[in-house]
Amino acid sequence: MLQRNRRSSSLALSAVALVGALSLTACGSDDNNPTTTASGSAPATGASISCGKNGSLLGAGSTAQAPAIDVWKNLYAASCSGTTVNYSGGGSGAGVQQFNQGKVQFAGTDFALKPADVDASKAVCTGGKAIDLPMVGGLVSLVYNVDNLDNLVLDGPTAAKIFDSQITKWNDPAIAALNPGAKLPDADIQSFHRSDDSGTTFNLTSYFAKTSGGAWSAAPDKAWKGKGGQSANGSAGVAAQIKQVKNSIGYAELSYAQTNNLKSAQIGTGAAKPVAATAANAAATLASSTVVGADGDLALSLDYGTKADNAYPIVLVTYEIVCDKGNKADTLDTLKGFLTYTASDAAQKAVGEKGYVPMPAAIGDKVKAAVTNLG
């Protein structure tokens, strides 16, 4: 478990404060004198933007970050005439694969690259390798559809047993103990998980591995290893199934829970009270993260086992995967311009109302420095 210190505490306060100031209009800026774009017009985002050469960027991967990328690419294109960013989902595993095949300039993944992925990237990153840039903060919400149950509480062991088909009834004694007085139906639990390789799955199972007390026996993995349940493709697919199927439960990023008006379980962590799935509560956990990557890589260690008050434990960070050296010369300036913008305060604020969590400023500064050094 990560140890909180004075620096982490200050990061938590700044992250929570940042969440409170979120606005999709992105009216804030990195400075008060935004630069002009390549077309000569002022940036529509309110942030200082370097457009680079006009052109197109291709990205793919994490569906967790897809709504955030949609916001960013539209704001960026509005400021940089002639520049487009195209991003397709498909899941984190597919994104890393496409990147290492040289099909995209960046990939989104909800889990840091493994050594084998880095080795494979050297074939497309001439003279360099792929690195992780933490760009999108968020949380994994345990979404459910049960009539007359608005404040469901789950903890690590109980949630793990539900998703592993060890608990199969909504009125199971373990669920009832966490929800005294709740009207739990005598109904079968319909659980849903991701069918594709998913960083969201990796983060959820990392939480199970840390907190289930052995109830979840598999190691954290991007591929689903639980027993039973039904599958759906992507976060959007899982959310759609939960919305349609009564007495169901699944997992998806908070942005998908909000878009589909789904209920999210509170998590019992050992804190003074169960913790709600909110951006502010996830920010407290993300602020305690530390960089564990080396040689330019900014992979983070996340505290899934936090017991701090108002700290939501099932958090995720989506990384943008790029070459540290060996990027394509014709798109390098645009890649650096886009990623510098996405790491800015204005861009982070712009995705707040989509259910995302602004990355702590100290991490954002490291990302911007890394982007500057891309070659």
Tokens coding 96: 């890393």
How is the chain split into domains, by residue range?
A: 21-136+321-372
Helix, strand, or coil here: 278?
Answer: coil
**What is the sign of the dihedral through the CA atoms of 315, 285, 262 and 213?**
positive
Distances (CA, A) of 270 to 12, 61, 141, 210, 310: 19, 34, 18, 13, 11
Mean pLDDT, consecutive 10-residue stretches, the chain (375 aa), reads 34 35 28 30 49 83 91 91 89 93 95 94 97 95 97 98 98 98 97 92 96 96 95 95 98 92 98 96 92 94 96 96 95 93 92 84 92 95
At residue 374, the 3 state secondary structure works out as coil
Six-digit token string for 291: 């960089």
pLDDT at 7: 34
Give me the pLDDT at residue 79, please: 87
Tokens 């949609």 correspond to: 70
- Closest by CA to 161, choosing from 110, 229, 219, is 229
pLDDT at 54: 64
SS (H, E, C) 124-185: CCCCCCEEEEEEEEEEEEEEEECCCCCCCEEEHHHHHHHHCCCCCECCCHHHHHHCCCCCCC
Q: Rounded to whole angstroms, how far apart are CA atoms 283 and 264?
A: 17
Q: How far apart are CA 107 and CA 101, in angstroms?
A: 11
pTM, whole model, 2 decimals?
Answer: 0.77
Per-residue pLDDT at 48: 59
Structure token digits, residue 332? 């390098």
Query: According to the model, what pLDDT value does residue 362 have?
Result: 87
In angstroms, the CA 96 to CA 200 distance is 15
The pLDDT of residue 51: 80
Name the one residue in this structure whose structure tokens are 């050594």.
115
| pLDDT of 24 | 27
pLDDT at 317: 94
pLDDT at 132: 98
CA distance 136 to 364: 10
DSSP 42: P
So what's the pLDDT on residue 338?
94
The listed CATH number (3.40.1190.20, 3.20.20.70, 3.40.190.10, 2.70.50.30) that belongs to domain 21-136+321-372: 3.40.190.10
Name the token pair of 317: 């960070």
